[in-house]
Structure 1
Amino acid sequence: MAAHRPGRGRTDRAPENVLPLDTARECFVLLVAGPQPLSLDGRAFRGLPHRTIPLDELRDRLLRRNCPRRTRDAVWAHLVHRSRREGATWTLACAGMALPALAGVARRLAEGFPGDPFDVHAEVLTGFLGALETVDVARPRVLPRLRWAAYRQGFAALMEALDAPTPAAPGFRSAAPRPPWGHPDLVLARAVRESVLTRTEADVIGATRLDKVAVEDWAAQRHTTPNAAYKLRRRAEARLIAFLHGEAQDNDPNDPVALSAMGGLPSVSALPARRNAVSALAGSSPSVVDIGGSRVPDRAEESSIGVAKKGADSGLLRCGSTTPASTSLPASEVP
């Protein structure tokens, strides 16, 4: 009999059972197997062959770098409409077409998830399926926005799991690395628990720095302006860097892991003069506006090199280990 694992109200499962995305993959394989695979007419979409194209072949074509974005958006708009009109078969088809993106999201979130990976996989798939009902197909980048919805729900499950009490057992046991080192998602989650960041601030850093979502897209999702989003991120990153420096002072000065990680952080002195470690952690400002429950400064501040708007070496990615690839989409389509 399988050992009980605490979950979200689900029953015990045998260890050999597959994860939700594996089930989606198996269903998709059945849809495109046999002499009459589920297909689309390529003549309806510019840039595709003028013939019937099975969905597995179509997915491969859409993932190619030379596939025009307009073609991808047109195909995904059609798939979403079919899912809404015809239900189960085309909903499964959508999940199968999005599997490369969803698998990357689930893999990344599962690395920091303290519970059963089944739960975070299920949340990612649920977020994607829920977005199929609401996503605006008239706007560009349909699949990246579906993927972003899946990430948001999976990340919420990760935060909830990390907020839960950790069982303690007597005797010797392994321990997590001392903060602030580790996977960037765990660093953000710890900062939220310590009230250094709000969930919205952790969201904008995780989305735009780690998940490569354009700041403009993130701002549109939150119904705010890109300039306000940049200010929100800059302020949050200043507090986060000060927090990590403060945490590092409590570690062994000869710890090679700490020394290596701290080498990638900008110094507190490199932050704007009025945002030192004390004022950064205080996190209050006499003049702010509210965006989704978070505070945003009313004017732009000078950004340090470590938290610049642009650049592959900017922001939180310079702390800790390298973030794994999160999608198999072409680079231009990663949100």
Structure 2
Amino acid sequence: MDTVRDTFQWLVTGPEPMAVPGARFAGLPRRPVPLDELRDRLMSKQCPARTRDDVWAYLVLRSRAFGGAWTVACAGMALPSLAGSARWLAARYRGDRADVHAAVLAGFVQALARVDLADPGIVVRLHFAARRAGQAALEESLDAPLPVASGYHSALPRPPYGHPDLVLAQAVGEQILTPVEAELISATRLGDTSMTDWARRRGTALTTAYKARSRAEDRLVAWLRERSTDTDSEDPVAEAALAGLAASTADEPAGEQDSSSRAVSGRLRNGRPASRERRSRSVSKNSGGSGLLGCGENRPGSSRTAEHEPTSEGRRCA
């Protein structure tokens, strides 16, 4: 942004500053209007929208035809709004702020080549194209892993590790869960399937499905915690696996909650600690066809609401 500001200043300094013919546009003086003066006029609330669009169409066409100084002129004309967006993004950017400034300018320059000049609000659409490019750079920086400090190296974490579905598969392999129970947890906790649709398409009563999931989650949590105690106390992997499957008991509809139901997170049930016998491996149904859900079942999908779900049965973020 500093480079654009300084370069634009050079364009309007001297005895022959870069200007546009004011006589071509309604509302402008009938003389060459230097770009810095033109910018102030276009930013004024008294400037007609038609005049603003006509001037910007002229500037964009000159940039497309001649590039170079006229592209810098366009960026300098839009600098007040671009700088505001770049400042906001840079305050949240993880890395060198010059990178996000460059992303904003790159988005603006790319938009100059494709913005539709027949539609109104040319400069507004240019501004938002630049902001979207900066926002994409910001999100990419926030999603990137943090740099590893000197003295550390990457290594395979201790089990249980990996995607929650892989943890469920391992639990089935060790006969902690049946395949049906693992599919139930994966579909309703990690996927987009609601308990109502899952139970209906499986031909199972909804209350039966909730109880079966609660019992399976009890065993799964007990197993994960047992595995985590066998590793370093500072190893975060087991906790991450638990968090990947965590869900609130709020997604069980009123009147159908089992008194002993509990979320995967292992919290207290109805204010009382979970029974240790219910978390024991001895209660596990080891046969793939045993348990309450031995009949054939399907995995329907249900759309997730944006913020507030009536029954909160959709997938929850861990």
Q: How does the TM-score come out when normalised to structure 2?
A: 0.49
TM-score, structure 1 as length reference: 0.47
